[in-house]
Amino acid sequence: MNKSVATRFGVRWLVSSLGLYIASALLGNGRLSVEGNWWTLIWAGLFLALVNMAIKPVLIVLSFPAIILSLGLFMLVLNGLLILLASWLYHPLYVKNLGVAIVAGIIIGLVNYLVTRILEDI
| pLDDT tens figures, 26-61 | 998 789 988 888 999 999 999 999 999 999 999 999
pTM for the model stands at 0.89
Using the 8-state DSSP alphabet, how is residue 48 labeled? H
- Residues above pLDDT 90, as percent of the chain: 75
Beta strand 32-34 with 93-95 is antiparallel
pLDDT at position 121 = 76
DSSP secondary structure string for all residues of 82-120: HHHHHHHHSTTEEE--HHHHHHHHHHHHHHHHHHHHHHH
**Domain assignments of the chain as residue spans, ordered by start:** 5-121
The residues, ordered by sequence, that sit 6+ positions from 18 with a Cβ below 8 Å of its Cβ are 45, 111, 115
